[in-house]
Amino acid sequence: MIKGFEDITYELTSEELVIADVIKERLLQNIGREMIVSNTRICKVLKAKGYKVTGPRVRKILNYLRTSDRIKMLIANQKGYYITTSIVEMNDYIDSLTDRIRAQEHLKAAMQQQLSEHQRAQQIELDFKSK
């Protein structure tokens, strides 16, 4: 679970593991960029079949399928998800992940700096008040 997002990042339920198998079987039939499918489309199809899903939980399911090697070479872009067979596309996707991680690390460092400055300012204020 991710702190602050516990309501959408909790572990997969038994029903969601069934949904994961449904998604997996469908995606494995559609290989290549031209077979891209959006999260919205996945949700719509699953809901039409009677499954209760949300966009964030579908992302959680897709993350599970990718990180557990249940679907290899499943990548994503702004338009959706697809299985690639291209080494170039996979390397580009890994580079994109690296860039996003770097951006998040930069944001984290900025937030830590702001917190430190805020704590110092509060300490100075307390020091003045106690004299």
Distance CA 108, CA 104 (A): 6
The model's confidence at residue 57, banded by pLDDT at 50, 70 and 90, is: very high
Residue 9: predicted pLDDT: 64
Give the DSSP per-residue string, 13-43.
PHHHHHHHHHHHHHHHT-BSGGG-B-HHHHH
10 Å CB burial of residue 31 (0-12, 13-18, 19+) is middle
Same domain, 33 and 95: no
pTM here?
Answer: 0.83
Q: Tell me which residue range forms the domain holding 71.
A: 1-85
28-54 pLDDT, tens per residue?
Answer: 998 999 999 999 999 999 999 999 999
18 phi, psi to nearest 5 deg: -65, -45
60-113 pLDDT, tens per residue?
Answer: 999 999 999 999 999 999 999 999 999 999 999 999 999 999 999 999 999 999
CATH number of the domain encompassing residue 50: 1.10.10.10
Distance CA 47, CA 58 (A): 11
Number of domains observed in the structure of the chain: 2
